[in-house]
A and B are shown apart, each in its own frame.
Chain A
């Protein structure tokens, strides 16, 4: 979103320059020439993308395609992570990110407003997260809470500090903030890669350690989810998915629950998928 960088100009003597990059003369022909293109990109990323996603998810929901195996395999990344009734939550996440960035940047010169805005936002986000728990697994909900609490801590830690006028943070703030970023960020990245890494023999000791830790703490231990049981994407078997295009995800031949109208061929294809999974 460098577009905001490009269009954010301020007066400088007889001309105007981009605040983030004063080498750009906002009154020059070269700048004006590129500005139209920048506005197009801005409209695409900030407005069109969330709106399109909202319309797309609503369309999938209304046509009953959200539960189709083929749709889930291709577009599930937008809604499969969330509980059924929160299928449009990804749009809210996009808006949330834009809000965090806007408060941080647009109020950069007013440290009190910036701090209050960020603290209030994260408090509201934590409350929403705790109240609704929109993710489909307990593990993802736990990680989201950890993420928001970590960001709230960071925001509180740097409250009242002007990034424009006060220069660098004090040493304790730098140490603490770096620790939060490294620990929380490391845990989150580890969680994201865990499902993949757990397949490798080299990582088995870590997997066993995490599973032991999970059993001890029981932090995420609902019946269907654990620290390692994120929402699993469907297999990548396109040919089989084509065969079961009309198969509801609830049709689980391995459980003896074929969907109505599912052909023997597609049931067999689904069985193959289930076997592979």
Chain B
């Protein structure tokens, strides 16, 4: 089948779905980005941003002034708004920033030079990375408590458990919500055949 695909896409691939060698496409993005080697710096930035998100959840979900009801309602509103509007609203694309792993799609820059299958798995595993970051934070806090820099009263085990629960509840749908709505890709493929 002769078809004219958009830039850096393989004409021989079904629905022009695959990128040329040396290019990658992130789930949720329609562009093939030049990416021959993974960018450790960008990966670190993304991990740090994700960690900041985890710390924010840890901060919001713990302590005597926690408004967890409002936190859950806000998360539900933002994730649902994104899925209702879908990709037809490019004015709300910034909501992608809340999705962590989807950050790679939003940045449209070379981060991980992986196969589409591995990239999908990476996206799938992203919620678990936030749990690892929370566990890492707990280890750091435990060390600081042992050294006497932080009081156990400030950051207790219960706070970490609560934060884990919040992350689990948010992530269970959010990732699905954000990544599923990529009809622009469908449009792209239909138009290129």
- How does the 8 Å CB contact mask read for A218-240 relative to B, with 1 for contact and 0 for none? 00000000000011111111110
Distance of A137 Cα from B69 Cα, bound (Å): 9
- How does the 8 Å CB contact mask read for A234-268 relative to B, with 1 for contact and 0 for none? 11111101000000000000000000000000000
A55 shortest CB reach to chain B, Å: 15
Query: Is A124 close to B, CB under 8 A?
Result: no
- Chain A residues, CB < 8 A from B172: 1, 45-46, 49, 94, 97
Given A1-B175, A5-B27, do A195 and B86 touch, yes or no (CB 8 Å)? no
Query: Is B106 close to A, CB under 8 A?
Result: no
Interface size class of A (residues with CB under 8 A): 35 or more
Interface size class of B (residues with CB under 8 A): 35 or more
Instruction: Identify the closest chain A residue to B159 (Cβ).
Output: A236
Distance of A142 Cα from B179 Cα, bound (Å): 30
Given A154-B81, A169-B89, do A34 and B117 touch, yes or no (CB 8 Å)? yes
Instruction: Identify the closest chain B residue to A28 (Cβ).
Output: B117
- Which B54-75 residues have a C-beta within 8 angstroms of A? 59-74
Number of A-B contacts (CB under 8 A): 280
- Chain A residues, CB < 8 A from B186: 19-20, 164
- Chain A residues, CB < 8 A from B89: 158, 168-169, 173-174, 177-178
Residue in A5, A12, A234 whose beta carbon sits within 8 Å of that of B17 in the complex: A12
- Chain A residues, CB < 8 A from B165: 75, 77-78
Residues of B participating in the A interface, judged by any CB pair closer than 8 Å: 1, 13-19, 25, 27-28, 59-74, 76-81, 83-92, 95, 115-117, 120-121, 123-124, 152-159, 161-162, 165-166, 168-169, 172-177, 179-183, 185-187, 189
